[in-house]
Structure 1
Amino acid sequence: MKKTIQILAALFVTMVIQAQEKRNPGHFTGLNVTGSLDVTLIKGAEGVTVSASKEVTDHLKTEVKNDILYIYMEGKYKAKGEVHIEVSFNTMRQIILNGSGDIVTKDHIDTPNLQVELVGSGDITINVRAENVKASLNGSGDLKLEGKASNFEAYLVGSGDLEAIRLESENVKVNVSGSGDASVYASKAIMARVEGSGDIKYGGNPAAEDTKVSGSGSIEKK
């Protein structure tokens, strides 16, 4: 009986420590995340829901500047324990991740233009339907895109990988500098460049193909 009470008490303490906090930082059309934070994007009324200890929420900053929602830890504080951040959005035109965190979309993003930037060792997974999508990856992280786009541009620097074979694009421009790998889909035209030991694989059987390799890398039609 005593042991059961101790277990229940421990569970109660855990529930108290791991709290949920809802925030309304204001209107935003872009997201900028810094650090090792994990963020899930969902469609809905604009807002942020944080599930973490009070110590973490006290140091977690969520503020909007120039229509961009910035999420980061205050000063040199490093998040401890489990931290889950859910961002509800109406419009999303820019997603930036600096660090080792993760950003994933629970719902697809509908927008005329989307810019995605990943710097560091983090991961981004996005489902998007857009006219124009532009992505850049600098570091060792992984960027995964799926959905549909008329025009898709991607630039990779470092050892990170781009998986966009499920992003059904018409016109694609992709450049790999370093040892990273990219897979893309182009139904009409592709311009692909490799500088270094990276590889590009593409599907879609485009009628117009412009490819060039400088180094030990490769470009291959799937």
Structure 2
Amino acid sequence: MKTKILLPFLFLIVLSFGCNRTYTGQGPVVDEVREVGEFNRIVLNMEALVVVKDSLVHSCVVKAQGNIQEAIITRMDGNTLVITTKGQLITNEEIVIEISMNKEMAFEVNGSGKILSMNTFKNDELDFEINGSGVIEADVVANKITSNISGSGILDLSGSANSFNMQISGSGTVNSFNLVTLDAKASISGSGEAEVNAGKSLYAKVSGSGAVRYLGNPEISKDISGSGTVEKHVQ
């Protein structure tokens, strides 16, 4: 009876130790092709640069020092490609992950990672989410874009869209002067900043010391609580 109780306990200890293991990078950077299915969402849960290319084929290549490749996990969760680690990574070499995809997309960064699109993505709906200090940069053509930043993250968008609905909680930043939109909604709670290019309408809600700056001549509706501002950008 004691053995039956002790073995699961020891197994839990081994699992816990494995999750807390530190991997120190050594040697040259190598490319490792990962097996993936079709996906329309990328979730990045580690410090790495993810470079996304528009392609008919879905693929994933991890560029990192050989002895830490095993600690970089790429797994499918339904239609989502999740990128994470199974321990702590210490390396002087930037970890770069090259991804190809072609379906309606959504990007999510949790932590301090960065996602960069290399092509113009054309989709009906696009979604961007940052939790922490991560960065997303993308050039897009879409009907509807939604974004949510919690923390100090940065979202940098260019291209065009019919509507753009953004939310910022904290000190995050949305740089979208180069994203031409018809209708835009910006909601800021905290000290965040949003740069918007709207041609038809702009609804801005600011709670705190946040700021919304806009280009174009949209019809303005605003709700300000605190020392926040909504003002036209002077070029």
TM-score by length of 1: 0.89
Residue in 1 that maps onto 2:31: 20
Residue in 2 that maps onto 1:7: none
Q: Secondary structure at the match of 2:88?
A: coil
Residue in 2 that maps onto 1:194: 206
Instruction: Check whether the contact 2:178–2:197 (CA below 8 A) recurs between aligned residues.
Output: yes
Superposition deviation, residue 28 in structure 1: 0.5
> How far, CA to CA, are the matches of 1:67 and 1:79 in structure 2?
30
Out of 211, 223, 233, the position equivalent to 1:212 is 223
Root-mean-square deviation (Å): 1.6
Residue 107 of structure 2 is aligned to residue 95 of structure 1: yes
Residue in 2 that maps onto 1:62: 74
* Alignment coverage as a number of residue pairs: 207
Instruction: Check whether the contact 1:114–1:134 (CA below 8 A) recurs between aligned residues.
Output: yes
Identity %: 31
Q: Secondary structure at the match of 1:107?
A: strand
Residue 123 of structure 2 is aligned to residue 111 of structure 1: yes
| One-letter amino acid matched to 1:43 | D
Q: Which moved more, 1:87-96 or 1:190-199?
A: 87-96
Q: Secondary structure at the match of 1:216?
A: coil
> How far, CA to CA, are the matches of 1:81 and 1:24 in structure 2?
26
Superposition deviation, residue 205 in structure 1: 0.8
Residue 45 of structure 2 is aligned to residue 34 of structure 1: yes
- The verdict on how the C-alpha distance between 1:195 and 1:113 changes in structure 2, with shifts beyond 3 A counting, is same
Superposition deviation, residue 186 in structure 1: 0.7
| One-letter amino acid matched to 1:211 | K
Instruction: Check whether the contact 1:111–1:129 (CA below 8 A) recurs between aligned residues.
Output: yes
- The verdict on how the C-alpha distance between 1:95 and 1:111 changes in structure 2, with shifts beyond 3 A counting, is same
| One-letter amino acid matched to 2:67 | E
Residue 164 of structure 2 is aligned to residue 152 of structure 1: yes
Superposition deviation, residue 119 in structure 1: 0.5
Q: Structure 2: where are the runs of 5+ without partners?
A: 1-24
Q: Secondary structure at the match of 1:52?
A: strand
Per-residue Cα deviation, 1:147-190 (whole angstroms, up to 9, x for no partner): 11101000001011110111111000111110111100111111
| One-letter amino acid matched to 1:201 | R
Instruction: Check whether the contact 1:24–1:46 (CA below 8 A) recurs between aligned residues.
Output: no
Instruction: Check whether the contact 1:108–1:127 (CA below 8 A) recurs between aligned residues.
Output: yes
| One-letter amino acid matched to 1:218 | T
Q: Structure 1: where are the runs of 5+ without partners?
A: 1-13
Out of 176, 179, 190, the position equivalent to 1:178 is 190
| One-letter amino acid matched to 1:220 | E
Superposition deviation, residue 221 in structure 1: 1.4
| One-letter amino acid matched to 1:22 | V
| One-letter amino acid matched to 1:136 | N
Superposition deviation, residue 77 in structure 1: 2.4
- The verdict on how the C-alpha distance between 1:174 and 1:93 changes in structure 2, with shifts beyond 3 A counting, is same
> How far, CA to CA, are the matches of 1:158 and 1:152 in structure 2?
19
Instruction: Check whether the contact 1:163–1:184 (CA below 8 A) recurs between aligned residues.
Output: yes
> How far, CA to CA, are the matches of 1:15 and 1:89 in structure 2?
31
> How far, CA to CA, are the matches of 2:185 and 2:92 in structure 1?
41
Superposition deviation, residue 43 in structure 1: 1.3
> How far, CA to CA, are the matches of 1:213 and 1:99 in structure 2?
29
> How far, CA to CA, are the matches of 1:86 and 1:92 in structure 2?
18
Instruction: Check whether the contact 2:26–2:65 (CA below 8 A) recurs between aligned residues.
Output: no
Per-residue Cα deviation, 1:115-169 (whole angstroms, up to 9, x for no partner): 1000001111111111000001010111111111101000001011110111111
